[in-house]
Amino acid sequence: MGYELIIMNLAVFGAAALQSATGIGFGIIAGPVMLLVLGSGEAIQISIVLNILIAGWLMPSLRADADQFLVRKFLIGSIIGIPAGLYVFLIVDIVLLKALAGLAVLMTVFFVLRGNGITATTIRRESNDRQAVPVGVVSGLMGGSLGMPGPVPAAWMSATGHDKRTIRASILMLFVFSYAATFLLQVPLAGVSAQTILTCVYLAPATIMGILFGRVLAKWLTEQVFRWLLVVILFATAGLLLSSVL
């Protein structure tokens, strides 16, 4: 597995850097590569564990930047969404699930682009109470079923005018709970092999190096570049999901 491990390390480094810099994106790079190399659900579990590592590593230094009110609302929604997402994963055809998720992400892109032309403060005051919990539910559904809780809340925060530091910190704080809860629910349902844990250990150094590189990269991202990068990540997510059903 030497050659495959090198490929996964490179993918994990780039994915961790992107996640560290923007708050989302790990699954876009590392997920498909690990699925291709491993060809099993082990790839999803490894992705979840490494996401916990990224979020846990960054959270102490970013906590002050997070919107605590929104994170609490997201968590309330996720408590409902994560178990429902795992249930949907068990009973719904994976092809249909990916197609619906891809369409949902495409819709969030529209809201990001639409939000750029509207006064952010007005949207935020009108939207937080009514929409944050439902956004958290959708995040939990996608996290529990596909291991992708980040795109929808990140897009919604961008559309409602939050700056890049707040989005990055809030989403990573959400990940600490979302991925940990998803993993703990997966353990009794699917089990975790010793090989999965060992692979996580092998990939941890590349993940940490990616985190450190992403922290440097985040300082160079302007608000405009961040928002367009977010749109690109969302399009890539939707494209990956929809292309996988063809």
Q: Which residue has the tokens 């910190």?
A: 169
Residue 117 belongs to what domain range?
2-243
- Rounded to whole angstroms, how far apart are CA atoms 1 and 55? 28
- Rounded to whole angstroms, how far apart are CA atoms 201 and 195? 10
- Rounded to whole angstroms, how far apart are CA atoms 239 and 103? 9
- Rounded to whole angstroms, how far apart are CA atoms 182 and 128? 25
- The pTM of this model reads 0.81
Q: What are phi and psi of 92, to 5 degrees?
A: -100, 140
CA of 129: how far to CAs of 66, 76, 126, in Å?
17, 12, 7
**Token output for 133:** 């919990």
What pLDDT score does 129 carry?
61
What pLDDT score does 133 carry?
93
Count of the separate structural domains present in the chain: 1
Give 165's contacts (C-beta < 8 A, 6+ positions apart): 62, 65
Tens digit of pLDDT per residue, the chain (246 long)?
678 888 899 989 999 998 898 888 787 778 778 877 876 667 878 988 999 999 999 988 888 999 999 999 999 999 999 999 888 877 877 677 778 777 877 877 776 676 554 444 444 445 556 789 999 999 998 888 777 888 889 888 888 888 888 999 999 999 999 999 988 887 777 677 888 899 999 999 999 999 999 999 888 888 788 878 888 887 887 887 777 676
What pLDDT score does 91 carry?
80
Tell how far CA 201 is from the center of its chain.
21
CB 176 within 8 A of CB 52: yes
CA of 196: how far to CAs of 40, 145, 191, 200, 203, in Å?
11, 19, 10, 6, 11
Q: How many CB atoms lie within 10 A of CB 63?
A: 15
